[in-house]
Amino acid sequence: MQINNNHYWIQRLPFYYGWIIVLISALTLFASSPGQTYVNSIFVDPMLTELEWSRTTYSAMYTVGSLVAALAMVFVGKSLDKFGARILLPFLCIAMFFATFWMSNVNTAVQLLVGFAMLRTIGQGSMSLVGTNMVSNWFVKKRGIATGIASWGQGISLLTMPILAHILIQNFGWRSTWTIFGALVNILLLPFAILFVRDKPEKIGLLPDGAVTLNQELSNENRIKENAYTLKEAMQTRVFWTLIASGVANPMIITGLHFHHISILMSKGVPLTLAVTTMGLFGPINLVFNLITGYLADRISNRILMAIGQFGIALTLISILYINQPWHSFIYILISSISMSMFNTSYTVIWANYFGRKSLGSIRGFSATTMVTFAAFGALPFGFIYDRTLSYDQAALFLLFIPLICCVFCILSTPPPVKTD
């Protein structure tokens, strides 16, 4: 592959350009926040108060909107393989502004459904996929730690965006806040997406991880050996489906817990201000454990890290039952945050490690379809059960078996046969 002279300045940098990609990935994960449940949860009560809907109706619209997003993810994954992040990411930034502007004008349940479908497709689905995929394409041996660093974007988002949403809603109302968030995404991310995103190191004469080649051609002996599965080939392996099954609990349960976070804690006697503030605690805990998990993901089996994360999700549900003092909420958040970091980082890394970069967008797009589908059902059981019992304890007990089953699938997810180009 010949070096492109248009990218000569990149090759002359004193550091590996992949670390700039990690920074842009972090910004992308941060910018996905308007489509993430931890931000949407702050809008629930203000919107319900003005629009006079039940929690079940609101949760149902969120569920159906997320299902629409899930159906779109296969197309997004294939588009990512075909066009690359360099083309797709600027489009997503502009689409996010349109989606938030739409949400600021919602007055009917149908409008809310359309708004959620756009937000979930763009933020929780597409931006998350593109952001993590960029890192996987630029790193192989250092993929774990690079993914952990990029995950800081979501950690910082968890730390700041719920509190910012609360402050903006209190001062400007929920409608204006949606528009402000859309503008913020474009100010922070769009310039970087247009100017600095590059799809793969080989396209500009570099190698993954910053490996050195003395020639202007990337010869076979310089290339890092890795699997090269297509989506069709990956689907013919047993581990593809055990990985799909192992990823069910995390998006479903974490989505439900984040969506109803304030309501869950207030039902346990936690004051509103403290409940909102504790939402921001997910961020710093994630920052620390994303790095720890990323470091471990380069050294030990990712399926074991995933299993630990799923077991932690089960402990998170159990901890809800024992919140009877405001300070107990901190234990609940600590367990939840550690579990989320352990699973999400290792789950992102394992797909590229097992199936390679050749069709990673399509493979992870299919995976994202499953995850977004189950995330769609996360809010509904909590809202449905609470509307009938005025307690979230029964919902926690009802869902407890799911992460335990997923834990078994994690352990069963051994590597596929070696397949290279």
Residues found in the chain: 421
User: Residue 212 has what pLDDT?
Assistant: 61
User: Rounded mean pLDDT of 327-338?
Assistant: 93
CB 333 within 8 A of CB 278: yes
Residues 6+ apart with CB under 8 A from 122: 32, 35, 92, 95, 96, 99
User: Residue 120 has what pLDDT?
Assistant: 92
User: Residue 221 has what pLDDT?
Assistant: 41
The answer to whether the pTM exceeds 0.95 is no
The whole-angstrom separation of Cα 312 and Cα 302 is: 15
Q: Which residue's entry shows tokens 């409940």? A: 275
- For residue range 225-249, list pLDDT tens digits in order: 688 899 999 999 999 999 999 999 9
User: Residue 58 has what pLDDT?
Assistant: 87
CB 421 within 8 A of CB 332: no
User: Rounded mean pLDDT of 59-79?
Assistant: 89
The whole-angstrom separation of Cα 270 and Cα 81 is: 46
Binning pLDDT at 50, 70 and 90, where does residue 62 land?
Answer: confident
Q: Domain ranges in the chain? A: 11-202+226-412
- For residue range 122-164, list pLDDT tens digits in order: 998 899 999 999 999 999 999 999 999 999 998 899 888 988 9
Binning pLDDT at 50, 70 and 90, where does residue 1 land?
Answer: very low
- For residue range 364-388, list pLDDT tens digits in order: 999 988 888 888 788 788 888 888 8
Binning pLDDT at 50, 70 and 90, where does residue 10 land?
Answer: confident
Binning pLDDT at 50, 70 and 90, where does residue 57 land?
Answer: confident
User: Residue 92 has what pLDDT?
Assistant: 97
State the DSSP string of 210-270.
G---SSSB--GGGSPP-----HHHHHTSHHHHHHHHHTSHHHHHHHHHHHTHHHHHHHTT-
State the sign of the Cα–Cα–Cα–Cα dihedral 274, 275, 279, 285: positive
Q: Is the per-residue pLDDT at 328 higher than 70?
A: yes
Q: Is the per-residue pLDDT at 404 higher than 90?
A: yes
Closest among 162, 402, 155, 407 to 293, alpha carbons compared: 155
User: Residue 6 has what pLDDT?
Assistant: 64
Binning pLDDT at 50, 70 and 90, where does residue 309 land?
Answer: very high
Q: Is the per-residue pLDDT at 214 higher than 50?
A: no
Q: Cα–Cα distances in Å, from 421 out to 202, 228, 326?
A: 15, 6, 56
Q: How far is CA 2 from the centre of its chain?
A: 35
Q: Is the per-residue pLDDT at 206 higher than 70?
A: yes
Which class in CATH covers the domain with range 11-202+226-412?
mainly alpha
Q: Which is more confidently placed, 13 or 28? A: 28
How many CA within 13 A on the CB side of residue 409? 22
User: Residue 148 has what pLDDT?
Assistant: 93
Q: Left, alpha or beta for 219 (phi > 0: left; psi -120 to 50: alpha)?
A: beta
**Beta-carbon count within 10 A of 13 CB:** 11
Q: Is the per-residue pLDDT at 3 higher than 50?
A: no
Binning pLDDT at 50, 70 and 90, where does residue 66 land?
Answer: confident
User: Residue 195 has what pLDDT?
Assistant: 94
